[in-house]
Structure 1
Amino acid sequence: MRRILSILFATCLAAPVLAAPCGNSGGGFEAWKTSFAREAQSAGVGQRGLQALANATYAQGTINADRNQKSFKYTFEKFMQIRGADTIVAQGRKRKARNPAFYASLEQHYGVPAGILIAIHGMETAFGGFMGDSSVVSAITTLAYDCRRTDFFVPHAIGALKLVDHGSITPATRGAKHGELGHTQFLPGNALAFGVDGNGDGVVDFYNETDALASTANFLRQKGWRPGVGYLEGQPNFQVIQQWNAAGVYQKAIANMASRIDG
Structure 2
Amino acid sequence: MRLAPVLALIASPALADVPCGGDFPAWVQAMKAESAAQGIPPETADAFFAGLTPDPRVLKADRSQGVFRKSFLDFSQSLISKDRLTRGRALSDQWDSVFQRAESEYGIPRGILLAFWAFETDYGVVQGDFETRRALATLAHDCRRPDLFQPQVFAALEMHRLGEFDLNTMGAWAGEIGMVQMLPGDILARGVDGDGDGLVTLKTSVPDALLSGAKMLHYHGWQPGQPWLQEVILPDTFDWELTGLETELPAEQWAAMGVQLRAGVVPNGLPASILLPQGRNGPAFLAYPNFRTLFEWNKSFVYVTTAAYFATRLMGADPYRAGNPDPALSAEEMKVLQGKLAALGHDVGAIDGILGAATRIAVQKEQARLGLPADAWPTRDLLDRL
1:215 Cα offset (Å): 0.4
Corresponding residue for residue 241 of structure 1: 294
RMSD: 1.9
Give 1:165's match in structure 2, choosing from 161, 170, 188. Answer: 161
1:28-53 CA deviation, whole Å, 9 max, x = no partner?
A: 21111011112223233333144202
The structure 1 residue matched to 2:19, chosen from 1, 18, 21, is 21
Q: Which residue of 1 aligns with 2:114?
A: 118
8 Å contact from structure 1 (residues 49, 165) kept in 2: no
**Higher alpha-carbon deviation: 44-53 or 118-127:** 44-53
Q: Is the 8 A contact 2:79 2:119 kept in 1?
A: yes
Greater share of residues in helix: 1
Alignment equivalent of 2:196, drawn from 200, 203, 208:
200
What aligned pairs does 1:84-163 form with structure 2 within 5 A after superposition? Answer: 84-163=80-159
Which position in structure 2 is the counterpart of 1:4? none
Task: Tell me the TM-score normalized by structure 2.
Answer: 0.60
Cα pair distance change 1:160/1:85, threshold 3 Å: farther
Is 1:231 aligned to 2:228, yes or no? yes
Gaps of 5+ in 2: 1-12, 230-285, 317-386
Structure exhibiting the larger radius of gyration computed from Cα positions:
2
2:15–2:151 CA contact under 8 A, matched in 1: no
Counterpart check, 1:44 vs 2:44: no
Partner of residue 60 from structure 2, selected from 39, 61, 64? 64
Corresponding residue number in structure 1 for 2:308:
255
Equivalent in the alignment of 1:12: none
Q: Deviation above 3 Å: which 4+ runs of structure 1? A: 15-18, 84-87
Match of 1:95, as an amino acid? Answer: L
Residue 6 of structure 1 is matched in structure 2 by none
Q: Give, in whole Å, the separation in 2 of the partners of 1:118 and 1:199.
A: 18
Percent identity reads 37
Q: In structure 1, the residue corresponding to 2:17 is in which secondary structure?
A: coil
**TM-score between both structures, scaled by the size of structure 1:** 0.87
> Could you tell me how far apart the structure 2 residues matched to 1:185 and 1:18 are?
26
Q: Provide Cα deviations, 1:84-130, integer angstroms capped at 9, x if missing partner.
A: 45543332122213332331122111110100111100000001111
Specify whether residues 41 and 84 from structure 1 end up closer, same or farther in structure 2 by C-alpha distance, changes over 3 A only. Answer: farther
